Amino acid sequence: MHRLKEGETGHLSDLKLGQCAEVLGLHNDNLALRRRLLDMGITTGVKIRVKKIAPLGDPVDIELRGYELCIRLDEMRNIDIKVVSK
Amino acid sequence: MRVALVGNQNSGKTSLFNCLTGSNQKVGNWPGVTIDRKEGVIKGTETILVDLPGIYSLSPYTSEEEVSRKYILEENPDVIINIVDATSLERSLYLTTQLLELDCQVILALNMCDILEKKGISIDEKELSKNLHMSVVKISALKNMGIQELINLLKSEEILDNKHQKIYEDPIEKAIEKISSQLNDLKHKRFISVKLLERDPLLKDKETENIRHDITECEQAYQLDMEQIIANQRYLYIDKVKQTCLTKTPVPESGTDKLDKIFLNKWLALPIFALIMALVYFLAVGVVGSYTVELISGEGGIITLFQNWLSEFLISNEVSEWLISLICDGIIAGVSSVLGFVPQLIILFLCICLLETSGYMSRIAFLLDKLFRSIGLSGKSLIPFIVGSGCSVPGIMTCRTIEDETERRITIMLTPFMPCSAKLPILTLFAGNFFGEFAWLATVFLYFLAILTIVFSSLVMKKWIFTEKGSAFISELPEYKLPSLTYVLRDVGEKTFAFIQRAGTIILFCSVVVWFLLSFSWKLEYGVAIEFSILASIGKGLAWLFYPMLGTLSWGSAVSALQGLIAKEQVVSSMAIIAGLFEETADATIFAGNGIFSFFTPASAYAFMVFNLFSAPCFGAIGAMKRELGSVKRMLQAVLFQTGIAWVLAVLIYQIGHFLEMMG
């Protein structure tokens, strides 16, 4: 996977370590899971930074709203984003 | 007065609960789920404090949330203390906005205020209180700061009333108003109205055509679905509040981030983890652990000495023979085989508690999640398996650290498949006698079989038994911190006490029952030879079950397998006794000549060994399963499942082995 450049859109799972993005929306069929993501603050417009990645590449520790959250690539694939600067 | 304690996971809820209640606590389970239900009396008052499970929201999707919601809506606590991690205020206030929709007084307890400065955060609590219209207290549960102020506030009548502020945009507020006007004089009107707007499945019966119409209208206006609209606007509101009362200055990289560069390093993380696990194993079940077991219940150990002394004492006082046997062979032997593990357990609980409170346990899940998820387990499942190779009982008890209910239950059911140290004598007896110089290979294959069985069973259970959706791995990596001594001592003490309590009840009872069956005939004569005991006739009745794995009807094998329920090493001593030998010579002679066990071939020996190792564990482990699975029914399911798998494996091994033996 090439590194997404600033302004490009994609999924949260496409981000590399240290990159930042703004959430455009969530599309997830599992309502419970989607609700959980919303509850944790992954709502439209929020800024997210990839902070730590597990040694096996999954899950990922992301930073948003002044705190950190661990989340799996599977869930991150369902979050649309636009890459922004730090 | 009743007060409910509500907060996110890792917000310091347990610490605050302990601070407020001191030692007046009662721990149980919430009905239907194995989530702790803790209650206590707040120090210096008569107020009852109920600790609700750690939650992020009052949505209806997890059992923790359901329990909390049900409690608040149905049992109407007088006040809610909402404990909040002040270092992640924004996320935490999300739950607060939901609590403020209830018809209930809410106090905001800003926890971890002692480390705000270090993080470059400053919070104006007066401004926050004004904005949210609720009482705010700054505390630190860890440093015991602000606790008295919180208690004083509870005692006073000065808790700010909940004003139900309008926090959403106009179209949503209008819809809420409209719905709540139709709810007549229901309590928690605003809360229920919002939930109805969100199409809450638990409130389906209150949904009307009008409400559905309003929902569609809003969704069309915003081009989003209602759950997203509500969540977005809650966070928009919180953002506004935050800007008035929180300032943040940049700080240098935190200690946690520096440590994570090592502990979560791409190359170092797994070796460090292996090292830490090896240390835990060494201390708890390896050298140090088995030394303590030897010290207590080994030859010349405290319990053995006590047992000998007691039996001599009873004999010299001419107590009847059966009573001595009941006390020494039944009660003490049964219970001590379990109590012998207590020092080992204390070491283990200490290790686990340190791993948990230091913040490393969450990292383990983070490290291994990918690996274990592929077989439907959690990264934390590895710990019970490692510990279980020493003893299943603490292994099963460490399953507590797995948050997801399904993964926890599967792990509990699979942990006894790891060959524990009590099973080693069985392994030595059969592998040593039938596989000669290849005994090591037979042993290695057995461990391999154990792992294979765990993987296979987990996949089967995930696919057909626990078909609920998999858990999302959504959790937090807490900060590394030095564990607090009082907390560690308290935690280890509580767990150890719970274990001893069980040894004194269920295990005592089961041991006495097996002793009775073994010592008496059907005519209730005491002291009969083993082949005339009630247990032997039960063994004869069950012998057909073992026929497919032994190729013969052997009551002696059935009886020995049953005795393994007390402790697995008893299988060996039982076989020795039945073969007419003394316990001490439990070796090749068991299978010699025309003896009762001379029918064993390598195939049936391996099959019988596998059955004993994989079938229902000892009473100690069964008791632990009952407690951790939360019901007798689930425990029986687990035992049947384990015995079923063991039976199928044993039969397969015998049939294949027997076929090979016939081929020459």
Query: pLDDT digit string (tens) for B410-424?
Result: 999 999 998 887 787
Which of B94, B367, B472 lies closest to A41 in CB terms? B94
Give A-chain residues touching B480 at CB under 8 angstroms. Answer: none
Q: What is the pLDDT of residue B607?
A: 95
CB contacts, 8 Å: A46 with chain B? 235
A45 → chain B, closest CA residue: B232
pLDDT tens readout for residues B572-584: 877 877 776 544 4
Same domain, B106 and B13: yes
Flag the least confident range among B546-550, B569-573, B589-593.
B589-593
The Cβ of residue B118 has, within 10 Å, a number of other Cβ atoms equal to 11
Q: Give per-residue pLDDT as tens, B503-557.
A: 677 777 877 888 888 888 898 888 777 778 898 899 999 999 999 999 999 988 9
Examine the fold and report which residue of B219, B239, B259 is the final residue of a domain before the chain moves on.
Answer: B239
Is position B78 within any domain?
A: yes
Q: What is the pLDDT of residue B128?
A: 96
Asked whether residue B43 falls in the same domain as residue B7, the answer is: yes
Mark yes or no for CB contact A67/B474 under 8 Å.
no
Q: How confident is the model at residue B293 (pLDDT cuts 50, 70, 90)?
A: confident
Q: What does the pLDDT read at residue B585?
A: 44
Residue B24 has pLDDT above 90, yes or no: no
A16 reaches B (C-beta below 8 A): no
Strand A47-53: give its sheet, edge to edge.
A9-11, A79-84, A20-26, A47-53, A60-64, A67-71
The pLDDT, as a whole number, for residue B570 is 80
How far is CA B220 from its chain centroid? Answer: 45
> For residue B94, which residues of chain A lie inside 8 Å, CB to CB?
39, 41
Q: Across B14-23, B485-494, B633-642, which has the greatest mean pLDDT?
A: B633-642
The amino acid at residue B27 is V
Q: Decide: helix, strand or coil at residue A50.
A: strand
Q: Residue B297: inside a domain, yes or no?
A: no
Q: Comparing B627 with B267, which gets the higher pLDDT?
A: B267
Overall average pLDDT of the B154-174 stretch: 90
Q: What does the pLDDT read at residue B32?
A: 64
In a domain, B299, yes or no: no
**Closest by alpha carbon to B566, among B616, B604, B610, B532?**
B616
Residue in B62, B371, B477 closest to A56 by CB = B371
- Put simply, whether A17 touches B (Cβ < 8 Å) is no
Whether B210 and B86 share a structural domain = no
What does the pLDDT read at residue B361?
A: 83
Closest-CA residue of A relative to B61 is A32
Give, in order, the Cα–Cα distances in Å from B488 to each of B43, B354, B451, B494.
21, 7, 33, 10
Is residue B186 domain-shared with residue B70, that is, in the same domain? no
**Does the structure show a pLDDT above 60 at B59?**
yes
Say yes or no: B144 and B218 in one domain.
Answer: no
Decide if B137 contacts B110 (C-beta within 8 A): yes
B65: nearest CA in chain A?
Answer: A36
What's the pLDDT at B29?
67
Asked if B219 reaches chain A (Cβ–Cβ under 8 Å), the answer is no
Fold type of domain A9-84: SH3 type barrels. (2.30.30)
CB burial of B6-16 (b: ≥16 within 10 Å; e: otherwise) equals bbbebbbbbbb
- Could you tell me which residue, B391 or B605, shows the higher pLDDT? B605
- Which pLDDT belongs to residue B469? 59
Asked whether residue B487 is assigned to any structural domain, the reply reads no
User: pLDDT for B360-373, tens place per residue?
Assistant: 988 888 898 888 88
Residue B582 is predicted with a pLDDT of 43
Q: What share of chain A is helix, strand, coil (3-state, %, to 5)?
A: 20, 40, 45
Q: Do A75 and B228 touch (CB under 8 A)?
A: no
Hey, are the CB atoms on A39 and B227 less than 8 Å from each other?
A: no
A3 touches chain B (CB under 8 A): no
Quote the CA–CA distance of B12 and B8 in Å, as a whole number: 8
CATH number assigned to the domain comprising residue B60: 3.40.50.300
pLDDT digits (tens, 9 = 90+) for A23-52: 999 888 888 888 889 999 999 999 999 999
Name the helix (H) or strand (E) containing B656: helix B632-663
Output the pLDDT for position B586. 44
Q: What pTM, to 2 d.p., does this model score? A: 0.80
Are B39 and B151 in the same domain?
A: yes
B24 and B76 share one domain: yes
Q: Is B66 on the interface with A (CB under 8 A)?
A: no
Same domain? B7 vs B67: yes
Q: Is residue B384 part of a domain?
A: no
**Structural domain of residue B190, as residue ranges?**
171-239
Asked if residue B58 and residue B196 are part of one domain, the reply reads no
Given B155, B180, B214, the domain boundary residue is B155
Residue B501 corresponds to which tokens in the numbers above?
């309590």
Query: How many angstroms separate the CA of residue A8 from the nearest CA in chain B?
Result: 23
Domain ranges, ordered by start, for chain A: 9-84
pLDDT at B7: 94
Q: What pLDDT was estimated at residue B278?
A: 86
A32, A56, A72: residue with CB nearest B61: A32
- Is B433 inside any structural domain? no
Estimate the crossing angle of helix B439-460 against helix B632-663, to 10 degrees: 130
* Crossing angle for the helix pair B602-614 and B555-563, to the nearest 10 degrees: 30
Instruction: List CB contacts (< 8 A) between B271 and chain A.
Output: none
pLDDT at residue B467, rounded to an integer: 67
Provide the shortest C-alpha distance from residue A22 to chain B (in Å). Answer: 14
Judge whether B392 and B420 are in contact, CB under 8 Å: yes
CB proximity under 8 Å: B 453-472 to A:
469, 472
What average pLDDT does range B114-136 have in this prediction?
A: 94
Burial class (CB in 10 A: 0-12, 13-18, 19+), B73: middle
Residues B133 and B104 in one domain: yes
Q: What is the CATH number of the domain that holds B216?
A: 1.10.287.1770
Residue B443 counted as domain residue = no
Residue A7 to chain B, least CA–CA distance (Å): 23
* CB proximity under 8 Å: A 21-50 to B: 25-26, 30-41, 43-46
Nearest chain B residue to A55 by CA: give it.
B266
Q: Does residue B287 lie in a domain region?
A: no
Q: Are residues B143 and B175 in the same domain?
A: no
Domain total of chain B: 2
Is the pLDDT assigned to residue B378 strictly greater than 70? yes
State residue B229's pLDDT score.
94
Interchain contact, A39 vs B59, CB within 8 Å: yes
Q: Which of B221, B239, B257 is the last residue of a domain?
A: B239
Instruction: Give residue B583's pLDDT.
Output: 43
Report the residue of chain A nearest B224, measured CA to CA. Answer: A25
Residues 57-86 (A) with a CB less than 8 A from some CB of B:
57-59, 61, 65-72, 75
pLDDT attached to residue B2: 93
Rounded to a whole number of angstroms, the distance from the CA of A16 to the nearest CA of chain B is 14
B196 and B65, same structural domain?
no
Closest CA to B90 of A60, A39, A62: A39
